[in-house]
Every structure is written in structure tokens, then in C-alpha cells.
Amino acid sequence: MPGKIRTALKVDFDKPAGEQPYLHNRWHPDIPFCGTIKNGETVKIECLDWTGGQIKNDDSADDILNVDLTRVHYLSGPFEIEEAEPGDILLIEIMDVQPFQDQPWGFTGVFHKENGGGFLDEIYPDAAKAIWDFEGIHCTSRHIPGVKFAGLIHPGILGCAPSSEILAEWNRREQELIETTSLPKERVVALPPLPTSVHAGSASDDIKEKVGKEGARTIPGRPEHGGNCDIKNLSRGSKVYLPVHVKGAKFSVGDLHFSQGDGEISFCKEPQLALISIIADFPGGAIEIAGEITINFKVMKGGQKELGMVNGKSPIYIPGPVETQFGPGRYIYFEGFSVDEHGKQYYNDATVAYRQTCLRVIEYLRRYGYNDYQIYLLLSCAPIQGHIAGIVDIPNTCTTIGLPVDIFDFDIMPGAPVKKLDLGSCPMAYKK
Amino acid sequence: MPGKIRTALKVDFDKPAGEQPYLHNRWHPDIPFCGTIKNGETVKIECLDWTGGQIKNDDSADDILNVDLTRVHYLSGPFEIEEAEPGDILLIEIMDVQPFQDQPWGFTGVFHKENGGGFLDEIYPDAAKAIWDFEGIHCTSRHIPGVKFAGLIHPGILGCAPSSEILAEWNRREQELIETTSLPKERVVALPPLPTSVHAGSASDDIKEKVGKEGARTIPGRPEHGGNCDIKNLSRGSKVYLPVHVKGAKFSVGDLHFSQGDGEISFCKEPQLALISIIADFPGGAIEIAGEITINFKVMKGGQKELGMVNGKSPIYIPGPVETQFGPGRYIYFEGFSVDEHGKQYYNDATVAYRQTCLRVIEYLRRYGYNDYQIYLLLSCAPIQGHIAGIVDIPNTCTTIGLPVDIFDFDIMPGAPVKKLDLGSCPMAYKK
Amino acid sequence: MPGKIRTALKVDFDKPAGEQPYLHNRWHPDIPFCGTIKNGETVKIECLDWTGGQIKNDDSADDILNVDLTRVHYLSGPFEIEEAEPGDILLIEIMDVQPFQDQPWGFTGVFHKENGGGFLDEIYPDAAKAIWDFEGIHCTSRHIPGVKFAGLIHPGILGCAPSSEILAEWNRREQELIETTSLPKERVVALPPLPTSVHAGSASDDIKEKVGKEGARTIPGRPEHGGNCDIKNLSRGSKVYLPVHVKGAKFSVGDLHFSQGDGEISFCKEPQLALISIIADFPGGAIEIAGEITINFKVMKGGQKELGMVNGKSPIYIPGPVETQFGPGRYIYFEGFSVDEHGKQYYNDATVAYRQTCLRVIEYLRRYGYNDYQIYLLLSCAPIQGHIAGIVDIPNTCTTIGLPVDIFDFDIMPGAPVKKLDLGSCPMAYKK
Amino acid sequence: MPGKIRTALKVDFDKPAGEQPYLHNRWHPDIPFCGTIKNGETVKIECLDWTGGQIKNDDSADDILNVDLTRVHYLSGPFEIEEAEPGDILLIEIMDVQPFQDQPWGFTGVFHKENGGGFLDEIYPDAAKAIWDFEGIHCTSRHIPGVKFAGLIHPGILGCAPSSEILAEWNRREQELIETTSLPKERVVALPPLPTSVHAGSASDDIKEKVGKEGARTIPGRPEHGGNCDIKNLSRGSKVYLPVHVKGAKFSVGDLHFSQGDGEISFCKEPQLALISIIADFPGGAIEIAGEITINFKVMKGGQKELGMVNGKSPIYIPGPVETQFGPGRYIYFEGFSVDEHGKQYYNDATVAYRQTCLRVIEYLRRYGYNDYQIYLLLSCAPIQGHIAGIVDIPNTCTTIGLPVDIFDFDIMPGAPVKKLDLGSCPMAYKK
């Protein structure tokens, strides 16, 4: 008879993440199992927030400015899923995600251009922070007054471990890109294995050294297993069909978000320095939380072939049925094109276009009294809709952002009277 | 007292598009008005399909293979909107869009790699066609059996004319891109003014020559006025806030679609030859129709400033409330990453990622008996959801496609039994 | 190859409804077929408005006051559906419903207490009218300023003819109710066959006389075939599974509505006089139109047994996917209980409760400057949601009405400033 | 700075409900406050399940059969809301509702015809039970295999205390109904104050006696304050505008449901015996739980006048934005009419019609192998849509039930193959 759901992994807030044996920060088949889950079982898994507590619930952005980006991205796992073997699909169903009841808050950060950076850092180079307080399904921020919304809570990262062969292929093709890119050499185009700051769970020193040499970084998602996909709709009720590549699946999960906008725009765009190459993708752009995820696990024997997946590519998923519903007519859509703010034309560059779309929203919301950093933070974590509208009409790619009007306390519809309000500011920090 | 809605422009199916004086195929402020619409008025405007009748309702793809791509993209207009002046916003509300009652069909084409091409033309180089039959709000295709869906009918192109200054700026920056691009010279990166095949409505020969020399091509959307945005949600009930740049607005509309998927993927990716540079963006990827659009026009005096638009950038819109509702759990989402089918790693290339996502859908649907071209056509015109999931996790951009399961006659959910059906083929045509 | 859709029935606006041989106003198996439709075919069927043109597009309610209620409810049909036989299901799919393009208007009426009456006629006894103008999918009324909404257009009546046995059973049980009711005798509780004003299509005089004696009135819906169900969601894209009781099905349809609220409250509650017993249910509460419906017909052989229908009871349906989407948070819900406005407690009377709910909405909207009759008309035809909340908590039944805020030009949310506007009035007419 | 949310009331599972001083089971202005909440504050409030633990998580329905219905309906409260005074509105926002983490289950019961009864007890007189297990947002039942759905979790009862005057009016009008009803005298038409089993929180004996004599029973909702409305959409994110009638509001809440269908049909229809008149409305038809509700409280000074509420009637509410979304085309709608299963015609009786609609669903689902009691239980607690379709077409009222197909593991769409499964049974209990 079913009963209380088992917690398969508990984290420890009094111990450094790097010392907790059920966490890891590389993808590698040799990282030892941290526990076992039955085929068909539902369990709870606790996750740390991605900085291990470096960011405080206060009104200063100094912690964002000075964040130590070598100490990040710890995943809970890997778990052995009984009966799972290569060629199978691990069907996971996300039954719930919750912040810890005694930590009802999260943060969104804009990183300084010289320590992480962000999507708009050429225009907005400084560090900024917003703290969000949760009351049930809703969040509000004393740093961005006038908005309240229900979180579409989800894990930023989940996936099964690569096999040795797949890992080798990842390393081969990413190394090839590094070696053959025509981009300037200061541009970091991929993140090769890095022996420092490795955490391989409860691995022996030998294994840990091997993981450091070969282990794939957790920053990019990858076609063979998913990983860091940051899909904002992978919330409660979603099902994900994950390819299994090693016996027991070695499933891991982490990087929980209370809410995120499409594209997670505020976080680091690209590291400018080789030194920073270890820290490239910081999910500081969502509302970052520690919390607990409840997952049901089922093994589909031979599922990769059944689903038509060639070479184990790629995960598929089905969103849950409980997304926030605003109605299509309750979004204002902004358009952006691949012409930058200096009038420079780019050739179908979706990144330029999306950045312009963000600027259009900033210009629009600025009229109500927000400063630009507040809007930048908001765009990153509120449930905005980011779409590619036209990708082939040379030379202009068109992207759009749908801004839900119902998250605001006041009426932002075009045509409604615009009254400038005193909306304060968010905490900021500057390099000296 | 309101009465029957006035038809402000009727097209003629017995005369070549290039001879009809209320059509044009360039953006230029000197193209004469084809009619006048009052501030506040609602009118109907008829539009030709974009090929002027080259594509037939038959079972051969020869017309697609041999389409004359110099004879395309005729817009209805430009209209004088009374009281509209530079700095204003023209608020248009799309009250309805309908195919002509006696032409209840449309087409989707995949162009041959050497005559137009398409998003996947390196893998699928041949020409293909699907004819869609409409019964009320629904469409079906004898060339892609097993699917039926309600159209989210919309105009592919709408906007107001640029001022002389804005037009000059368009030409400057696009020319600069052509001259400075580091891409191989056979790559067409932008389409400069072209004196051949110009249609400038009822313009005198002098004006027509000027329009040929200066007029902006209709292929790309542009930030100052919108234009060819191909936004699939701009359907019935949508409102668009268009910047006005010339006295009387000079509003034009055309390129109607019965339905389109996000990204309109099947149409021409990029012309390989300078010769084809005149024909780059053909909206053959949607379900292309001739039809009638009903629009209400309202002028917001000083609206650009009121809406915070800097330099008239960019249109904003609010979708209508009557989109098809499938429920979030009735989509299967496929993921694609910037690693191509040969295992080559790209640096955050959303185009590579979106192409991979398309291939994942093709592999999935192929199991039911469709051939790849049928799926390729379907992806282009069915109401799929295309999203950028993660744009900053170097080196992998992740894009997703949500495929609505309820457009299929049979159950395509993962886990449901897969039975291979006889689903025929679509018309194909090959270069000899 | 599919082509233009056939119009299976055209109505004549220059001839009285009673003289058009493809219309009828009784349910009877002997009314002759007016045409034949193939199994699998899609056709268009034209329908008159229910008054045959008595109500004019003007600003007087005299036509409502003086409407001749003996000249109403003509249905288009009955059609022979090939291959349909008793025990089968006729699956109809509503592909489209449209008002006639040259008659882009409809009306909503509140009938006078002494000529038709309505749901609230003890409080609002006079006649009132609102004319609605259509622009594409939207309607507005010069008589109820400040509102605009997309129609959820649908047929009020559809069904197949009863068999002789079913018809006899209808007559038996309804006559039994008339004879055994404990209600006061002036209360009309059911409408028996009536030999006057009979229209039996192209029937011979003998048949017509028989239909007058036995034919079931079209006012009530009935469990064995559906009929006058007035289901507001039976709009474009809906499928209905109709039991077939006679060879060829004898399908009929009519009473088209551009839009309707749940419960269609403004129309006649109950006739006070025997004389009026012939005119009981007038669908004046919706936005009444003449128009054209496009339907696909399919026969499911043996479908009643397959669907578990016992004794052919009752139709089932699946709504179309294109309903207007406002989002759940864009409705204000009002509650009403079975205690009337004089403080009298009723025992779980849902009618009293729903009337109270209506009064709560009237009190709420009155603050903006509407008069009560305007709101009464609006409640009847706008897309409100009417629900039974609690039906068993003695003695109070609770019903609710969800009022969509987005149909108003001004903000009606609780807490938003209330400004009394000049909203005029609707046409009214009074008994002398 | 916000922090952890305060729990304003904790319940005790080791003590009888009747001995816990912060619970009560009557509405009366003299029941003492159990705590104070600030204007603007958000708090958590714990609630017992409505039977105080009589129903067990086991596979026998004996507890349902023998339930002691005199020991029920304890509400948490009443709370003093600072600053609230008569004439104000108490705006509550439901931030979250959760079952207790260590009690992840609930129950649905069908009561025996002679001890509680239910909506269909003439056809289904016996007692039945289903236990539901919760995994995150979902529930499943070992007693009703093949279904799983997300709960739309909500409180069945909430409201502010009546003033003495309002309470007197309630007693007057309900007593008048009892005295003047023309129904047979064994029919309980209302529940007058009852001195036995009174729980008045921490009241003195004098007050408790007074509450027993005058206090309103909690079973019916009432127009002046809401109360037991059982509105299934009053879930997370909903706002309710409650009239305040006494200083400090005296707000109470209870009767939490994990999920409920429209109408909550399985619970007691009407008590047959005076003895049972104390137990009339048992919310056993929902998925009944103990749990915790998080509410934000705001006082709108003078809000009743501002919202146009006459005599404090009636609460209004706005649903939250996170309802489960199935899409309109994923419901099968069943119709029922006011003709009973013996062919007896009723005069516009919505109760008869709704019962017939339930029977149509039972007949439909029975084909898959469910027994009737399983379906009856399911109809009561699954997210079905219950609508009044037509209320004025004499003599037949038409009601509909929309059954969401996506809660089933197998395809129940009409036309899909029907395979009879072994779906077991639910626990049953019979009178000897």
C-alpha cells in the first residue's frame, strides 16, 4: 500500500557542497551511484541552489559582484535506476518541485561584465540582484515592486550519464571546435575537461582524477542526454523520455528554478577570459532556489528504438497540464530584428535580434519608473514567451518576446494612461 | 448606422499581378496611394496568393520545381489612412481573414535546392508539394493523409511605408553588410534594390524607375516598420501597433497564410547564386492562399512617443483570443542541439540546432509510414511550436519543437503502439 | 479531387418561411426529405433567423414588443443521410458557421412579460432590444456601448427525426406531465402537439395534418435526439454524435447564434397563458442570426451500441479547439443562492439562485452607467460562464456566473476606479 | 524583510476535534477569536479533514457505512483580521493549499442511503469508498485503476461570521421555509439550530449554549457571507472578496479538497429522517483531506459599497491562473434531460437532468470494465465540468457533463476501440 514518499537524497546546509558525497559537478560514467531507485518508484530528491549559499537574502549586490564562480553547479546523483540498460528510455515524470519551506526565497542576478557577464553586458555591465519572496505559488520582490506572478517551477538540469563512447565523442567534437574555430582566440567557444574543482561524488582519488581529465562540463546541454536544457515548461506534471547509455542509467538532477523566462537572458553570455572558461554558464538568470523535486521513474525497455531515436538522440518531453494561463490576448509582443542599436546590420543573427527585442521591452517598461536593471532582471525570470518568428528572411531574423500584462499591479496595456511611479531600484555593485 | 463592410480593394484573377495598379512589390514612400481609409474605419482588402497563380491544385510538383521566382510577392496597397502622420501609431485590428469561398484550397511547397531551396535542402534537395483542402476552419491534404487541423489564418506581411530617411538607412546598412561580410562571396547576405520586375502600383514611369533603384525588397522584416514578420499568431482578433513614417501611413498587406508553423521552415534558406538573390524569401512554407482580410484602422496621434518607441522601433502586437487550444500536455516536444548529423560541433548556432530538431521529428514520424518530404512539408505549415530553449550554454544552443498530437488521426503519443500505415507520398519533382 | 463545397440548401429571403418547402417546424418521421447527403460528405446549409425577419436592424423595440410568436422556429431539413439506419450514430462535425456576408448583424431581445416574457420578467417586465454589428469575428452594439467580443458562433438546434415509437413516447410522457402536474393550471408545463401554424416542408396535406396532430414541438431538447440544446460551446470544430432513429437519419438544423451566454437567460421563462403555449421557447436571448453552417456527415454503423447508449440516449459531443481564451483569472465570478430579493428562502431552487446571480452582476455593472436592461441583454448573449456550484447543501443551491472582463473597453476589475460613464440606453417598448 | 510564513493555527491529530479550542462547527458572531492576523499579512492555517479521522486509508468501506455523522464539519477559526469592520470587504488570496506531507492521501465516499445517502442513492444505495494516493500534484487510486489527474486543490468552506442581525434573518427565513413548505413532512428542507454536538471554540458555557440555540449550521452556503460553496475552481491563486459583518471579520476556513467535480455529486442528497437532519451536507464526494492553506488577507475599507454589494450580498471571486488545461477538444460532453430512467417527464427539473447526465457517463465508462460505483466515485471527485445548458425549454432542462479524456490511461474517445479491462472494484459495504 502506498504511503509517504521516500526522500532518496537529503542535502546538508551546514557542509560545503564539495564535501557532500551524493553531489557531483561533471558528467562521467565512472562517478559512483549515490543511491538506488526502483523501476516504477516515486522519490523525493533534495537539491542545493547552484552557488552553495554564496548569495544572501539581503539588499546588497556585492555577493553577485564577487561570486566565486569556481564553486558551482552541483547536481544531486547519480542514481541507479533498477533494470535500466543502454538502449532503454528512462521515463521520468516530475510530480512536484518545491522550495524548502523554511527558505521561501530565491534570487536573480545580473553578473558583472568581468565576472560572468550577461546577455546585455555591453549595455549593462554592472552587477545587480533581486531577491524574490515566495508565498505559496506566488513570488514578489522588494527590489522590483509592482509585479507578482506564479512560478512555473522546474529543474534546470536533468539527464543520465553518458557512456564512455559518448563521452569520448563529446570531447572529440568540442575539442575540434576549439581548435578549428575562426573566432578570435580570446573567445571561449567550448569548455574542455578541467581538472580543478572537480567533484565526483564518493569516487576514489583515482576515479576523481580520471573524471577531472575526461568528465564533461555541466554547462552545455547535449543531444545524447539532454542535461542543462533550461526549459521553462519542464514543470510539475511534465514527462521526459531520457535515453539511457549506461547500466543503471546514472540519473542526476539539479539547478532548480522557481521561474524563468524563455532564454534565461540575464546570465553569462560568454566568458571573456580563459580563466573564466570554467564558469561559463551560470543559471543566475532564473529565480534560483534550493529545494526538493519529486520524480517518478519508469524504464521503457528498448525504448530508444521504439521512439525512433537514432544514436540515442535526443530526449523528448511532454509538458505538464498546469501552466499558468493568461490567455493569448494578455501578452504584449515586442519584435526585434538583427540590426543593432548602432544601426549595424547583421546577417540573420538571432542573438542580435533577441537582444534588440529585450531593449524594446526595456524602453517600454522604463516609462513606468523602473530602471533598466530592474527590467533586465525581470525579463530574465518572469514567464515571458520568447519566440523565433522568422529565421530565413535575409538579412533580418525576427524574434519576439511576449510580456504577460497580468503580472503587473498596474495596467501596462498600450493605450492605458502611463503614470510614472516611484519603483526604487535593485541592489547594484560596481567594480572599483 | 453600421452596415455591410466596404471592400476597399478587389483583386483580379484574370489579369497578371504586375498589371494590377493596386498591388506593389517594393517598399518605397513614393508608390502612390491605391485608396483611402478613414480613421476608425473597417474595410475588407483582397490579396492574391504570392505566386500569382503559378501553383496549381493538382498532383504534380513540376510547378514548384519550375516556379518563376521573379514574379512574386505582390502586396495590396498602399492605402492612405486619413489623419495618420509621422510619429503616430497606426493601430490595426485584424477582424477576420478568409480564403476565397470559391478557392477553398492552398499549397505548401518545398523548393528545389537549385531554385529557391529550403531549410533542410542539403538533406532534402528535391521539390515537393502538398495541396490542402479547406472545409470551414479545417484543412486536410490528400498528399499528407492522417492529419487535420484548424488554421490559425494570418497575413505574412503588413506594415507602413518607410520615409525617405528610413529607406536610405535601410539601404545604407544592408549595403554595408554586403560589402563587409566575411562570409564566402557566393553567399547572399542581403538583397539590395533591384531594378527588374519592379511593380510600383500606379506609379508613373519616373517614379517606377526610382522605386527600382531605391525601393526596399519585401523579403526581410525590418525594425522600423515590421513587414515580412511571418508571425503565425497574428491571426483573427490580433492588434498591431505600427509606426507611421509618412503622411497617410501608406499601409500595405499581403502574403496570406491559412496556417504556418513557427519558423516556416520549408522555404528557401538562402540562395546559392547571385541570380537567385532576387528571390530569396518565398513564403512557400506556409499554407499559401489568396483571400480577403478584414481590418479596422485607428490612428493613435503621437503614439510612438506614448509607447516609448525610440526611432520608431519596433511594432508591437497583441494576439487575438481565439487560437487553437490543445492543452500543454497534448504536445510532444523534441530537442535539437548545435551538433550536426555528421557529429560536427557548432558554436551556439541556433540554425543548426533547429535543423536537428526538425530531423528528430522526421525520425519520430517516419515510423508511421510517412516519407521524409511529407513530414518536412507538415512541419512547415502545421501549428507546431518552435522555441529557443537555451541560447547561452556554450557551445550548444538548444531549440525545441512542440508537435501537437491532436492533429493526427492516430495516436502518436510515446508509448502508444506504432503501426506502419500506407500513407502514400507527396508529389515530387527532380532536376534532370 | 475536393473542390468548392456544395450548398445543400439555400433559403429565400423574399418568400415567407412557411412557404419554403425545405423548412419545417415540428419533429416528425413523416416530414419528407428535402435533399440527400452522402456518408462522408461536407455541405453548406443555409438557415433563416428564427423570426423570419420580423426584427429589424433599427433603434426601436416595438418589433420585439409586438412580435408574432406563432410564426417561428423554422429548421432547415430534414436531410437524408445515405447509409444511415436506426441504431447508427450520425457523427456530424461543424466545420464552420457564418452569418451571411451581406447581413452582418444580429439581435438580442428581452420580450415583454405579456408576450413571451423572460428569466427576470417579474423585475424587468418591459420589452428591450439590442442590435449587434459584426466585423469579422467580433461584435459590438450601439445599444450597449463599451463592449466588444468574439462570437462563439453555433447552431441552437440540431438533431435527427424521432421514430414513430419515440415520438409516441414523447407525446405520452409529456401529456402525462400536463395531466398530473401539481402546479397551478395556468402554468404551462409542456407543449403538446398543435395543429395550427404547422409547417411540414413539402408534405402532402394528409401528412401535414398528421404532423400537426402528432408532431413534437421544437422547443424542448429531448434525450433521444438532442434538438434544442442551446449549448454555447457547440461551435466551429465541434463533433456531435447523434443517435439515428429512422432510415436516412432525417437530420435538421437551425436557430443559429452568433454568441450566447450560458443559460440564454433573457428569453421567455414560461408562458402565462394557454394562448401563448405555442410560443414558449424563443431563442431571442442569444445574438440571433440568419446564416450558413458547414457540416461534415459520417455514419457510424451500429454506433449506439458501440458508444454504450441505452435506448438511443443521449447525444454526446466534443467541443472544437478554437474557443475564445481569456485565462481563468480574467473572469469575475458572482455567486447567487436560493434566497430571493425579498428575503424568501427557497428549497434548493437553482432557478432562484441563478436569477439572484444575474442580479448581482446587474448591481455590479450598473455602477459604470449601464441601465439594468442593457446588462440583462448583455448577460444573455455575451460569453459568460454559468455554473452550478453546489446543488446539495440544503436549503441553498449556489450558482455562479463568470463575467469575462476583457470584453469591456474599461477596467471592471474589483479595486479599479469606478467612473460612471454616459452609456445611453437600449431601445425599450412598453405595453399601453 | 519577509521571511518564513507564520503558521497561525496548528491542529492536533492526537486530540478530538471537539476539544480543540481553535475549531468550531457553527456560524455565530459570539464565537471567540482564535487568533489575530494583520491587514496585509500572509499566514498558514492548518485544517482537519471533515470527519476528524474516522475514515481510514484501508480497503474496507465499513467506516463509510458506519460513519458517525454527528461528529463533523470543524472549521479553523474564527480569526480577527485587524482593521476589518462591518461594510468592509476582506480580500483573501489563496496562495497555496497542500495536504500534509506525511499524510499524502485522501478519500472519496458514497454514503449509504440510510446514513447520509447521495445524489444517485435510489439507484446506488450502498456504501462505497475510494482511497487516493498523492504524488506531488497528482493523485491515483488503487480502487479506481486507470486514472490519474492533477488536483485542483481548494477549500470547500470559507467566510466571515454573520452579524447578529444577519444571523437572525438566516434563522427567520429558513424557519419560514420549514414551516411553509408544501413538500412531505419527512423531507428535511432546512437545518435549524441544533443544541447538540455544538463546538464553539474557546467559548464559555454560556456562549456555547447561546451558539447552540442560535448558531447557523455550516451546511448551506448563504448569500451574505459565502460559506460552504464547494467551488472547485477556488484553488491556488484565487482571490475572494468577502463581505465583513462584524468587527475583526471573524474569518474561518475548512473542509479542504484535493479535487472535486462540478456538483460534488456523490455526497448526501437529502436526509430522509429528522434524526439525520443534523448531518445533511457531508463533503464526502470530493477527495477529502487534512492539510494546510496559505492565505493573504487584505481589508478593503468600505468595500461593499465600492463593489456595488447591496445588503452585503454576495461574495465575488476571481479564479487563479493555474488550473489544469486539457484543451476544449479533450472533453467528451454528455447530455441529460429532465426525463428519468423510468420514462417519467419532469417539469424543468435540473436535478433530474443532472442525474441522467451522470447515468450517461456511467453507461459509457462501464464498457471499459469499471463497475458503476467506481464511476460514481470518480464523477464526484475528478475534474469534470458540469454545466446547465438550457434551463428554459419546457419541459426539459438540459445539463451536461464534460469528462476529461486525458485523466485515463487508455483512449476513451468515441471511435477508439473499446477493450474491456480487469479494473477490479472499490470497497463496498452493505446494511445487514
- The tens digit of pLDDT for each residue in D358-400 reads 999 999 999 999 999 999 999 988 988 887 776 667 788 888 8
**Rounded CA separation A253/A47 (Å):** 8
Cis omega (within 30 of 0) for bond into D277: no
Q: Is residue C246 part of a domain?
A: yes
Residues C241 and C379 in one domain: no
Integer Cα distance of D228 and D212 in angstroms: 19
pLDDT digits over A86-112, tens only? Answer: 999 999 999 999 999 899 999 999 989
* Residue C340 and residue C307 share a domain: no
Q: What share of chain B is helix, strand, coil (3-state, %, to 5)?
A: 20, 30, 55
B7, B98 Cβ separation under 8 angstroms = no
Inter-residue contact A48 to A415 (CB < 8 Å)? no
Mean pLDDT to the nearest integer, B234-251:
95
pTM given for the model = 0.91
The whole-number pLDDT of residue C93 equals 96
A417 assigned to some structural domain: yes
pLDDT in tens, A149-165: 999 899 989 999 999 99
For residue B303, give the chain A residue with the closest CA. A415
C84 and C139 within one domain: yes
pLDDT beyond 50 at C272: no
**Is D69 found in the same domain as D188?**
yes
Query: How far, CA to CA in Å, does B391 sit from each of A118, A282, B397, C178, D335?
Result: 12, 12, 5, 72, 49
- Taking only the tens place, the pLDDT of each residue in A225-268 is 988 776 777 889 999 999 999 999 999 999 999 988 765 454 43
Report helix, strand or coil for D155: strand
Whether ipTM exceeds 0.85: yes
Residues D176 and D287 in one domain: yes
Residue D345, beta-bridge partner list: D339
Q: What's the confidence (pLDDT) of residue B1?
A: 47
- Testing the interface with D: which of B330, B405, B406 to mutate, by most D Cβ within 10 A? B330
Answer yes or no: do A159 and A308 share one domain: yes
In A, minimum Cα distance to D292 occurs at A136
Q: Does D414 touch chain B (CB under 8 A)?
A: no
CA distance C94 to chain B (A): 8
- What b/e string do you get for D25-59 counting C-beta neighbours within 10 Å, with b at 16 or more? bbbbbbbbbbeebeeebbbbbbbbbbbbebbeeee
Between A152-161, A194-203, B227-236, D276-285, the lowest mean confidence (pLDDT) is in: D276-285
Angle at the Cα of A377 (from A372 to A379), degrees rounded to 5?
95
Same domain, C283 and C337: no
Are residues C330 and A328, on separate chains, in Cβ contact within 8 Å? no
- The answer to which of A147-151, B256-260, B272-276, C140-144 has the lowest mean pLDDT is B272-276
Residues of chain D with pLDDT below 50 are 1, 266-283
Quick one: closest CA in B to D330, which residue? Answer: B326
- For residue A385, the model assigns a pLDDT of 85
Please check whether residue C1 lies inside any domain of the structure.
Answer: no
pLDDT for residue B31 is more than 90: yes
**Secondary structure, 3-state, chain A:** CCCCCEEEECCCCCCCHHHCCCEECCECCCCCCCEEECCCCEEEEEECCCCCCCCCCCCCCHHHHCCCCCCCCCEEEEEEECCCCCCCEEEEEEEEEEECCCCCEEEEEECCCCCCCCCCCCCCCCEEEEEEEEECCEEEECCCCCECEECCCEEEEEEECCCHHHHHHHHHHHHHHHHHCCCCCCCCCCCCCCCCCCCECCCCHHHHHHHHHHCECCCCEECCCEEECCCCCCCCCCEEEEECCCCCEEEEEEEEECCCCCCCCCCCCCCCCHHHHHHCCCCCCCCECCEEEEEEEEEECCHHHHCCCECCECCEEECCCCCCCCCHHHEEEEEEECECCCCCECCCCHHHHHHHHHHHHHHHHHCCCCCHHHHHHHHHHCCCEEEEEECCCCCCCEEEEEEEHHHECCCCCCCCCCCCCCCCCCCEECCC
Q: Are residues B254 and B400 in the same domain?
A: no
pLDDT of residue B3: 67
Cell numbers standing for residue C344: 424568501
CA distances from C291 to A69, B7, C11, C105, C228 (A): 67, 20, 9, 10, 17
Q: Does A323 fall in a domain?
A: no
Residue B272 pLDDT grade (very low, low, confident, very high; cuts 50, 70, 90): very low
Mutate to test the interface with B, among C233, C325, C326, C409 (most CBs of B within 10 A): C325
Could you give the dihedral angle defined by the CA atoms of residues D370, D376, D378 and D380, in that order, rounded to the nearest 10 degrees?
Answer: 170
Paired strand residues for D23: D76
Domain boundary among B297, B318, B339: B318
| Residue C3 to residue B104, Cβ atoms within 8 A | yes
What's the longest Cα–Cα distance across chain B?
67
Q: How confident is the model at residue A426 (pLDDT cuts 50, 70, 90)?
A: very high
Q: What is the pLDDT of residue A324?
A: 83
Residue listed under C-alpha cell 529557443:
B388
Partner B contacted by D366 (CB < 8 A): no
**Residue among D220, D328, D329 minimizing CB distance to C395:** D220
Instruction: Determine, yes or no, domain membership for A1.
Output: no
The pLDDT assigned to B280 comes to 29
Per-residue pLDDT band for A392 (boundaries 50, 70, 90) equals low
Tell me whether residues A135 and D102 touch, CB distance under 8 A.
Answer: no
B323 vs A213 pLDDT, higher one: A213
Shortest CA gap D342–chain B (Å) = 39
Q: CA B262 to CA B381: how far, in whole Å?
A: 8
| Chain D environment of A105 (Cβ under 8 Å) | 2
List helix spans (H) across B266-312: 303-306
Residues D123 and D199 in one domain: yes
| D232 has a chain A CB within 8 A of its CB | no
d(CA A39, CA A36): 10
Contact criterion met (CB below 8 Å) for B428 and B128: yes
- Supply the pLDDT for residue A300: 96
Please check whether residue D186 touches C, CB under 8 A: no
Inter-chain residue contact C102 with B4, CB threshold 8 Å: yes
Residue A269 has pLDDT above 80, yes or no: no
Average of per-residue pLDDT across C125-129: 94
Would you call D229 and C331 a contact, using CB atoms and an 8 Å cutoff? no
**Of B280-289, C28-37, D180-189, which has the strongest mean pLDDT?**
C28-37
Q: B267 pLDDT band (50/70/90 cuts)?
A: very low
Residue C397 lies in domain: 328-429
Distance from CA of C379 to the nearest CA of B (A): 20
- CA-nearest of D89, D180, D104 to D135 is D104
The predicted structure's pLDDT at residue C391: 62
Please, are residues B338 and B347 in contact by the beta-carbon 8 Å criterion? Answer: yes
Question: CA A346 to CA A349: how far, in whole Å?
Answer: 6
Interface contact B194, partner A, CB < 8 A: no
Task: Please give, rounded to a whole number of angstroms, the shortest distance from the CA of A28 to a CA of chain D.
Answer: 30
Q: Are D92 and D249 in contact (CB under 8 A)?
A: no
C270 pLDDT above the threshold of 80: no
- Mean pLDDT for chain C? 88
% of residues, chain A, pLDDT over 90: 65
Which three three-digit cell numbers place residue B246? 509618412
* Span C29-44, average pLDDT: 97
Using a CB-CB cut-off of 8 Å, the residues of chain D touching B329 are 325-326, 406
Once rounded to an integer, what is the mean pLDDT over residues C362-391?
Answer: 89
Percent of chain B with pLDDT over 70: 93
Top pLDDT among D276 and C56 is at C56
Q: Do C310 and D363 touch (CB under 8 A)?
A: yes
- Residue D1 belongs to some domain of the structure: no
Give the per-residue pLDDT at B391.
62
- Give me chain B's average pLDDT, please: 88
Cα dist from C339 to C352, D310, D354, whole Å: 7, 14, 22
**Contact between chains at D329 and B411 (C-beta distance less than 8 A):** no
C323 Cβ under 8 Å from any chain B Cβ? yes
Q: Does B1 touch chain A (CB under 8 A)?
A: no
Structural domain tally of chain D? 2
CATH number at residue D308: 2.60.120.580
Based on the domain organization, do D134 and D39 belong to the same domain?
yes
Pair A271, A185 in one domain:
yes
Average pLDDT (C147-167) is 94
Gap between the terminal Cα atoms of chain B: 62
pLDDT of residue B282: 36
A328 in contact with chain C, both atoms CB, cutoff 8 A: yes
Cβ count near C124 (within 10 Å): 18
Are D279 and D376 in a shared domain? no
Q: Is C46 a domain residue?
A: yes
Q: Which of C318, C352, C384 is the last residue of a domain?
A: C318
Burial B133-169 (b: 16+ CB within 10 A, else e): bbbbbbbbbebbbbbebbbbbbbbbbbbbbbeebbeb
What confidence tier does B279 reach under pLDDT thresholds 50, 70, 90? very low
Q: Place B262 in a pLDDT band, splitting at 50, 70 and 90.
A: low
pLDDT of residue B275 exceeding 80: no
The residue among B284, B318, B352 that closes a domain is: B318
C377 or B69: which leads in pLDDT: C377
Tens-place pLDDT, residues A333-389: 998 898 999 999 998 887 888 889 999 999 999 999 999 999 999 998 898 888 777
pLDDT, position B229: 74
> Nearest residue on chain D to C156, judged by CA atoms?
D390
Task: Report residue C112: phi and psi, to 5°.
Answer: -65, 150
Q: Is the residue at B1 inside a domain?
A: no
Q: What is the CATH number of the domain that holds B344?
A: 3.10.28.20
Indicate yes or no: CB of B316 within 8 angstroms of CB of A331: no
d(CA A368, CA A363): 10
Among residues B166, B175, B181, the alpha carbon closest in space to that of B193 is found at B175
Please list, residue by residue across B54-69, b when 16 or more beta carbons sit within 10 angstroms of its beta carbon and e when fewer do.
bbeeeeebebbbebeb
Which residues of chain A have a CB within 8 Å of the CB of B314?
334-337, 356, 360
Does B190 sit within 8 Å of A229, measured CB to CB? no
